[in-house]
Amino acid sequence: MKILYFECNMGAAGDMMMAALLELHDDPSGFINRLNEVGIPWVHVAAESSVKCGITGTHVSVSVNGEVELSDDVHVGQDCTQKHHHHIHNSMCDIELLTSKLNVSDKVKSDAIAIYKLIAEAESQVHGVPVTEIHFHEVGSMDAITDIIGVCMLMEELSPQLVLASPVHVGSGQVHCAHGILPVPAPATAHILRGVPIYGGRINGELCTPTGAAILKHFISKFGEMPVMKLHKTGYGMGSKDFETANCIRTFWGETGSDYEEVTELICNIDDMTPEAVAFAQQLLFDEGALDVYTSPIAMKKGRIGILFTCMCISSEVDKFISLIFKNTTTLGMRETVSRRHILDREQQIMQTAYGPVRIKTAKGYGVRKAKPEYEDIAKIARENNISLFDAVHIAKIK
């Protein structure tokens, strides 16, 4: 199964998402040429290399009549009376008419309209007016339309079978918009992100835009940790602003599924190590990426009590773990067994309860589906309410 994962540690914006997806494409320059020919008025798209905090990625710029528009974050001490740039204001009907005339597939048109409807519904709720009376400002400008069309085209050409994303960092502070100075996340962005795991932070700025939020909401199936996958490509979509953290959205392109993978078990018998030393070696192997490390009690020659020390790792990393085991245990030799490991697709969801968010780990494949809450989250509820783990699951109404 082809899987696409968005890492939104620095939020999500249309241009950054397009750039991150572009790095996964087999023909980036050809795609940019096609995008410039779809018929969006007054627009020219360019892609260039960009470096943020030492990481090289791609920055996509969209110029309208030769000018590139940037968002305006408000910082402490800044003159908030500065003039905001003006754009043509488009209604939903204008967007639909423009999209219908573009030289793109019906699927791209349908996806783009669906994304704009998410934004229109959010603006309608925020401003208390019907969707038919909504006039887009920033998200109705030609550069935003280009971002949305570009992302929809890339999603069609990449054709992932499963699209996932991390929780979304939304930023903090305030931002200029056509209506004035608004808190971050902007009200429309916050409305779109209902049901999505988000968080703020010490970065002062708008990290997730309404456009980025709507694109995520439309395409993402699940938000949570990255699943086990065989990685083929990564993409880095760079933003225009500079922060102390690399301002980029990262994409992972690979395969996941219920197929088997080859793993290696390294096994040795030990009878002359303290429990503390064994635990130290076990944790070190986990930290280095072992799939599993476990011990079993055994009776060795002359009646000595010992342990069977087993480390499971990906076969391509076997030499590294052989070296680590010899270095951190007293064994003088070990056995190697190569096995096929069959795994279920694993995902993580966030369940909101009256006692706070609880991570639910799910696994499916081979006709079965399993789910259980994250132990630490349930333990926290139990400790804070002075109850047992079993009662914590019950009062939180976790299924």
Looking at per-residue pLDDT, the higher value among 209 and 184 belongs to: 209
Nearest to 344 by CA among 303, 319, 322, 372: 372
Which residues are CB-contacts of 374 (< 8 A; sequence separation ≥ 6)? 348, 358, 359, 360, 361
Judge whether residue 4 has pLDDT over 90. yes
Report the percent of the chain where pLDDT is more than 90. 53
Kindly give the pairing relationship between strand 2-7 and strand 43-52: unpaired
Model confidence at 138, pLDDT cuts 50, 70, 90, reads very low
Query: If DSSP states are collapsed to H, E and C, what string results for 150-200?
Result: HHHHHHHHHCCCEEEECCEECEECEEEECCEEEECCCHHHHHHCCCCCEEC
Question: Can you tell me the distance from the alpha carbon of 322 to that of 294, in angstroms, rounded to the nearest whole number?
Answer: 15
Looking at per-residue pLDDT, the higher value among 134 and 303 belongs to: 303
Model confidence at 81, pLDDT cuts 50, 70, 90, reads very low
Question: Can you tell me the distance from the alpha carbon of 321 to that of 325, in angstroms, rounded to the nearest whole number?
Answer: 6
Q: What is the pLDDT of residue 136?
A: 55
The region of weakest confidence among 3-12, 39-48, 103-112, 141-150 is: 141-150
Q: Please state at what angle helix 28-35 crosses helix 142-158, rounded to 10 degrees.
A: 130
Nearest to 148 by CA among 213, 193, 238, 91: 213
What domains can be seen in the chain, in order of their start residue? Answer: 2-255 (no CATH), 260-342 (3.30.70.1380), 345-395 (no CATH)
Model confidence at 127, pLDDT cuts 50, 70, 90, reads low
Burial of residue 143 (number of CB atoms within 10 Å: 0-12, 13-18, 19+): buried
Model confidence at 344, pLDDT cuts 50, 70, 90, reads confident
Model confidence at 70, pLDDT cuts 50, 70, 90, reads low
Model confidence at 140, pLDDT cuts 50, 70, 90, reads very low
Dihedral angle sign, alpha carbons of residues 212, 213, 218, 224: positive
Question: Can you tell me the distance from the alpha carbon of 28 to that of 259, in angstroms, rounded to the nearest whole number?
Answer: 31
The region of weakest confidence among 138-147, 194-203, 248-257, 378-387 is: 138-147
Instruction: Please state, rounded to an integer, the average pLDDT across all residues of the chain.
Output: 86
309 touches 329 (CB < 8 A): yes
Question: Can you tell me the distance from the alpha carbon of 354 to that of 111, in angstroms, rounded to the nearest whole number?
Answer: 35
Secondary structure class of 339 (helix, strand, coil): strand
Judge whether residue 73 has pLDDT over 50. no
For the chain, give the longest Cα–Cα distance.
88
Q: What is the pLDDT of residue 361?
A: 87
258 touches 342 (CB < 8 A): yes
83 touches 72 (CB < 8 A): no
Model confidence at 87, pLDDT cuts 50, 70, 90, reads very low
In order of 83, 98, 114, 176, the CA distances from 86 in angstroms are 9, 20, 25, 12
The residue length of the chain stands at 399
CA 188 to chain centre: 21
